[in-house]
Structure 1
Amino acid sequence: MTQHNPTEHDALIQEQFTRQARPFAEVRAHSAGDAMELLLDALSPAPGDTALDVACGPGIVACALAPRVASVRGLDIVPAMLDEARERQAKLGLSNVAWELGDASRLPYPDESYRLVTTRYSFHHLLEPLVTLREMARVCQKSGRVAVIDVAPAEDKRDAYDRAEKIRDPSHARAVTERELVALFDAAGLEIEKTVRYRLEVELETALRASFPEPGGADRLRALYRADVGVDALGVGAELRGDELHFAYPIAIVVGRKRG
C-alpha cells in the first residue's frame, strides 16, 4: 500500500474536493432515492433526535435526515462542499440544519452530543478510519446510533479496486472491507445492529466528469474498466451497454449502537 503523509493527504483531499464540489453534488447516483431510503430505514431516525453528519460533503445525507429529526449538523473539511450544502439546504427550505468547517478526526463537540452520527462515502479517504469512528462514537449519546456508509469491496478484489480508484481520485486512500468495518465498530465500542448492502450504479464517463485524475488517468481508467468486462477483477461488475461502460460500487451500510 502506498504510504501517505497525513498533511499531504489532507491537502490532496482539499484539492480534489474543492474541484469536485459542484460536479459531485450533481451526480444523480449520489442522491438516489432508493439508496437513501435504505440508509434512513437502517438508521431509524426519530423526531426528537439530534444528528451529526461527518464529512458531510454537499449535504445530501444531512438534508435527507432533516425532515425526520429535531436538528442536524453537517461537518466537512472542504469549504466549497459546505457552500454546496448551504445551497441545497436553501433550495429545500430546511431550517433545522447547520454547517461547520472541521476535521473528521478531531470533532469539535462535547461527549454524547448527538443521538445519531453518520458518515457516507468518506472512510476510503481516511488514513486512520478508526480515529474518526472513535470520535463519532465519543460524540454519540449512550444507546445512540452510529452509521458508516461506504464502499466495501470483496477482500480478494480490494487491492485491484484501490489501484483503479487511485487513478480516478488521487485522494483515495484505501477501501475498507466489510469484515474490517465490523472490527472497527467493535474497537470503537459500537455493537452492530444492522448491515445493509446495495450496489451504486454509475456510468464511467459520468464518474470521470465528476473526477479530476492526474494527466492521462482517464484514458488509463477507461482501458482498465474495458479490460475488466466479463472478468470482474475490480469487483464492480463492469459491463458495456452500447458504447457506455457501466459499473456498480458495492456499498455497505453498517449501523451500530453505542454501548451504555
Structure 2
Amino acid sequence: MPHPATTIQETGGAIAPHLMRLLEFVEPSREDVCLDVARGAGPMPAALGPRVRHLTAVEAKPVPARAGGRRTATVEFGTGPVRLPGEGDLPASARRDAYAGPPARRGSPDGATIRADATRLPYQDDTFSLVTARFSLYNLGDPEHVLRELLRVCRPGGRLIIADLVRGNLAGAERDRIERLRDPDHPGTPSIARLTEMITSAGASIRRLDVFTVERPIEPWLEGARDAVAADRIREALTDEVDGGPRTGAKPRIIGGELWFTQSWAHVAAEPI
C-alpha cells in the first residue's frame, strides 16, 4: 500500500519524495557534466545542479498542436501530493543533502536559459556525461527521434536517464481513455516493454529500471483538462468505478474524502552503445 508522500524540509529548500527517489536513481557525480531536457521549467535543474560539476538546462519547444486541436500539458507534477510505495525506505543521504550546496546552475555557463528543439539540440556529439529527461519524452516531438538526439549528445560510458509514465505490459488500453478525455492530444501511455524497446532501438543499453505506482489526488491533475465537461466526465467515470462500476485502469480510491487515482512511473538508466 502506498504511503503518504510528505515534502521533506531541508536547509535552503524542500524536495518531494518522488523527486528524491529519482535523484537517488540518477546517482549524480561531482564530476558529471549534465544536460536536462524538459518541456518548460522543471524541478531537475534545481535538484541536480548542486550535485554535478556543471548543468545545462534546456527548456525544449513543445509539440505543435494538431489541426483543430490544442496542446495542453499532458503531465503536471508540480501540484498536489502523491503517495509512493516504500517512501520510508529512501536512503538517508537522499533526505539529508537533497539541497546541499549552492543554487543550481541553469542554462549556459553565463547563466542564460537555453531554449531549443529536442530533436535538434545545439550541442556536439558526446558532450555530456549525464543526460536527463523527466516526463518530457512524449511531449517534445517524435519520441524515437528525441531519444536518438539525447543519446547523440551523451558521451560513451555516460548515462541517459528517462523518467516517464508507463503502463504494465499486460494492462489494457482503457487507461488511455481517461488520459485522452483530459487531453485529446495525449499520445498514449507506453508499456514498460515499449519504452525500453524504444531506448534500445535508439542505440542504448538498459542498465537499471525502477517501476512503481503513485497515487495522486484527482483535482490538481484535472486542472489541465481541456474543459469543465471533460473534467466532469473523468470524475464520473472514476466515482462509478469506486462504486463498483466499469474499470478505467486508474484504480481510484477515496482518501480523506477526496478522489485519488493511480499512475505507474518508470525510471530508466541507459548507456549509449
Distance 2:251 2:233 in 1: 18
Matches within 5 A, 1:13-28: none
Q: Deviations over 1:49-84 (max 9, x none)?
A: 1111112532301211111101212212359x9xxx
1:216 lines up with 2:225 in the alignment? no
Aligned to 1:136: 150
Equivalenced residue count is 218
1:175 lines up with 2:189 in the alignment? yes
Distance 1:151 1:231 in 2: 25
Runs of 5+ in structure 2 lacking a partner? 1-6, 8-13, 63-72, 74-100, 108-112
Task: Tell me if structure 1 keeps the 8 A contact 2:132–2:162.
Answer: yes
Aligned to 1:115: 129
Matches within 5 A, 1:33-52: 33-52=16-35
SS at match of 1:157: coil
Please give the TM-score of this superposition, normalised by the length of structure 1.
0.75
Q: By how many angstroms is 1:167 displaced?
A: 1.6
- From the CA coordinates, give the structure whose radius of gyration is larger: 2
Aligned to 1:197: 211
Task: Tell me if structure 2 keeps the 8 A contact 1:157–1:233.
Answer: no
SS at match of 1:141: strand
Task: Tell me if structure 2 keeps the 8 A contact 1:51–1:73.
Answer: yes
What letter matches 1:194 in structure 2?
R
What letter matches 1:172 in structure 2?
H
Q: By how many angstroms is 1:33 displaced?
A: 2.6
Deviates more, 1:42-51 or 1:56-65: 56-65
What letter matches 2:219 in structure 1?
E
Q: Deviations over 1:63-117 (max 9, x none)?
A: 11111101212212359x9xxxxxxxxxx96252212111222222111111111
Aligned to 2:59: 76
What letter matches 1:97 in structure 2?
R
SS at match of 2:30: coil
Q: Deviations over 1:144-181 (max 9, x none)?
A: 00011111112443522222112223342121111011
Please give the TM-score of this superposition, normalised by the length of structure 2.
0.72
Against the structure 1 CA distance between its residues 48 and 166, is the aligned structure 2 distance closer, same or farther, given a 3 Å change threshold?
same
SS at match of 1:256: strand
What letter matches 1:96 in structure 2?
R
SS at match of 1:196: strand
Aligned to 1:3: none
Task: Tell me if structure 2 keeps the 8 A contact 1:51–1:71.
Answer: yes
| CA-atom RMSD in angstroms | 2.5
* Percentage of identical aligned residues: 30
The structure with more helix, counted as a fraction of residues? 1
Distance 2:248 2:17 in 1: 24
1:60 lines up with 2:69 in the alignment? no
Task: Tell me if structure 1 keeps the 8 A contact 2:56–2:106.
Answer: yes
Runs of 5+ in structure 1 lacking a partner? 1-27, 82-91
Distance 1:62 1:232 in 2: 41
Task: Tell me if structure 2 keeps the 8 A contact 1:154–1:235.
Answer: no
What letter matches 1:118 in structure 2?
T
Distance 1:171 1:109 in 2: 30
Distance 2:141 2:246 in 1: 26
Q: Deviations over 1:172-224 (max 9, x none)?
A: 21211110111112112211111012223210112123x14235111111112
Against the structure 1 CA distance between its residues 242 and 48, is the aligned structure 2 distance closer, same or farther, given a 3 Å change threshold?
closer
Against the structure 1 CA distance between its residues 95 and 77, is the aligned structure 2 distance closer, same or farther, given a 3 Å change threshold?
closer
Deviates more, 1:131-140 or 1:152-161: 152-161
Deviates more, 1:106-115 or 1:125-134: 125-134
Aligned to 2:269: 255
SS at match of 2:17: helix
Q: Deviations over 1:131-156 (max 9, x none)?
A: 11111000000010001111111244
Against the structure 1 CA distance between its residues 234 and 58, is the aligned structure 2 distance closer, same or farther, given a 3 Å change threshold?
farther
